Chain A
């Protein structure tokens, strides 16, 4: 009995962490699908989302749930701004140029974070409602552990509906297949790209808030490791594929938690797990678990 309940506890923890990776990975994969760009600043957008929420809750009199909606929206617009400033002027240049611009944008945001927010860690104001422990059988689990996957599932269903059923979603899928033809059929590319960044950054910020509720320590560099791991999740799942990003996120989250739980001696290698997984995937199936085997046009 004890073993089962402990396993269940690890399982919920893994699912919860996996959901967070999935939410962030979607942003990577959507942007890649449309622009063929790895948006390395995505992890830092995630960080901005957490800080905006922190300031909103701490320094305004708005109710926390309103801040939890407004801050991600604002983060979404920062995402649009990022694309306009760092990527749009370079559209049409070599891919490596835009990639380097993405790395530059990432450093810029991190360092701006240190200057503006200060380097000292801060405590995330977790609402009481999310922060109490319940006991189920022999296990005690924080409520937020359940809320994270629930929110993730709702957002994923919404996203799936959006991409498959709405005209903007259809335009997004068309754009990801053939840029030029899509614009010749009257699709406003800039608008669709902005919407993509808005949605990706919004999801990253929601992921950030949930992350903060679970690991309530804020630092300007906090986006880099979750960002990298979520990027790996997107690659493992097959970059450009939204379902793949979610699957990759769960594999990574569960794998990490289970590694620490069952092989405690390796717990220091927790972060290395993601990179080892990346190396294996790149060796065995470079296009990712759910990625298409793309044949280049001749």
Chain B
């Protein structure tokens, strides 16, 4: 049987005396969209940070299998190595390179897929020039995909908020991920933008053959697109299941509304 794309086992993350995440276990299969929800401060972003290598977990392990055969232990790897294996993310508070242009932001995502060395770069050898052209076209294509091809030379910080969110996704796509982690992609969006976002996520999932792990507070987004949902409260997993199971789960309702 194929191993799941991402397997998180008994993950513990402590910051001094604070336990941000306690004994969390989850599994994401190839091609799934999996949601991660929970009240503010439940430890959702912490899990993303551990998976992408920003934090080293106190205990537990994370196994990533880009093709269902080989398995990589992600814990202890540096963020750039993890990105190279095919895990990329977006951020809850947008973190674009504001001073760089829109196109450069996407182009930077290509960085890790470049095979050329210093000499071919300096001497502009033919294969380097060809490579550069290919990546340039790929970046343009991604910009077209998010509807930003006309603003490619503007500073990323000058874009409206919703567009910046999309640009972050495009930048992540440029790294050719297998697993894409989206941290609250619909934050601050109105209902119309949210609808478009749902469509957009579905579209890129099919086109780029992605598996998606998603944190979101907009319940309509989560319930509509996730096949499976994990619910976290105070760092502890309190429920998991498909959307309708989660909606009926008493513990989940309690965690969100407080015990009456």
In the complex, what residue of chain B is closest to A169 when comparing beta carbons? B121
Residues in B72-111 with C-beta less than 8 Å from chain A: 78-80, 83-84, 88-89, 91, 95, 97-100, 104, 107-111
Which of A166, A182, A186, A188 gathers most chain B CB within 10 Å?
Answer: A186
Which residues of B lie under 8 Å from residue A183 when comparing CB positions? 78-80, 83
Taking the nearest CB of chain A, how far is it from the CB of B96, in angstroms? 8
Instruction: Tally A-B pairs: CB < 8 A.
Output: 73
Which residues of B lie under 8 Å from residue A167 when comparing CB positions? 107, 110-111, 114, 121, 132
B108 touches A178 (CB 8 A): no
Which residues of B lie under 8 Å from residue A189 when comparing CB positions? 78, 80
Which residues of A lie under 8 Å from residue B221 when comparing CB positions? none
Q: How many residues of B contact A (CB 8 A)?
A: 30
Tell which of B83, B100, B109 touches A173, judged by Cβ atoms closer than 8 Å: B100
Which residues of A lie under 8 Å from residue B22 when comparing CB positions? none
Tell which of A166, A168, A177, A186 touches B97, judged by Cβ atoms closer than 8 Å: A177
In the complex, what residue of chain A is closest to B104 when comparing beta carbons? A170
B108 touches A170 (CB 8 A): yes
Which residues of A lie under 8 Å from residue B80 when comparing CB positions? 183-184, 186-189
- Does A185 reach chain B (CB closer than 8 Å)? yes
- Does A271 reach chain B (CB closer than 8 Å)? no
Which of B79, B88, B89, B107 gathers most chain A CB within 10 Å?
Answer: B79
Could you tell me the distance between the alpha carbons of A182 and B53 in the complex, rounded to whole angstroms?
Answer: 13
A171 touches B111 (CB 8 A): yes
A168 touches B78 (CB 8 A): no
Taking A185-B88, A186-B175 as contacts, is the C-beta distance between A174 and B112 under 8 angstroms?
no
Could you tell me the distance between the alpha carbons of A59 and B87 in the complex, rounded to whole angstroms?
Answer: 53
A178 touches B121 (CB 8 A): no
- Does A181 reach chain B (CB closer than 8 Å)? yes
- Does B52 reach chain A (CB closer than 8 Å)? yes
Which residues of B lie under 8 Å from residue A170 when comparing CB positions? 100, 104, 107-108, 111
Which residues of B lie under 8 Å from residue A185 when comparing CB positions? 83, 88, 108-109, 111-112, 171-172, 175
- Does B54 reach chain A (CB closer than 8 Å)? yes
A184 touches B111 (CB 8 A): no
Which residues of B lie under 8 Å from residue A186 when comparing CB positions? 80, 83-84, 88, 109, 111-112, 175
Taking A173-B97, A173-B99, A177-B98 as contacts, is the C-beta distance between A187 and B52 under 8 angstroms?
no
Could you tell me the distance between the alpha carbons of A167 and B121 in the complex, rounded to whole angstroms?
Answer: 9
Taking A184-B83, A185-B108, A186-B175 as contacts, is the C-beta distance between A174 and B78 under 8 angstroms?
no
B108 touches A171 (CB 8 A): yes
Which residues of A lie under 8 Å from residue B97 when comparing CB positions? 173-174, 177-178, 181-182
B100 touches A187 (CB 8 A): no
Taking the nearest CB of chain A, how far is it from the CB of B113, in angstroms? 8
Could you tell me the distance between the alpha carbons of A197 and B108 in the complex, rounded to whole angstroms?
Answer: 21
In the complex, what residue of chain A is closest to B105 when comparing beta carbons? A174
Could you tell me the distance between the alpha carbons of A188 and B79 in the complex, rounded to whole angstroms?
Answer: 9
Which residues of B lie under 8 Å from residue A177 when comparing CB positions? 97-100
Could you tell me the distance between the alpha carbons of A288 and B229 in the complex, rounded to whole angstroms?
Answer: 52
User: Residues on B close to A: CB < 8 A?
Assistant: 52-54, 78-80, 83-84, 88-89, 91, 95, 97-100, 104, 107-112, 114, 118, 121, 132, 171-172, 175
Other A-B pairs beyond A177-B97, A183-B78, 11, CB < 8 Å: A167-B107, A167-B114, A167-B121, A171-B108, A177-B100, A178-B95, A178-B97, A180-B95, A181-B95, A184-B83, A186-B80
Closest 10 CB pairs of A and B: A186-B112, A186-B83, A183-B79, A181-B95, A184-B79, A188-B80, A177-B97, A183-B80, A174-B97, A186-B80
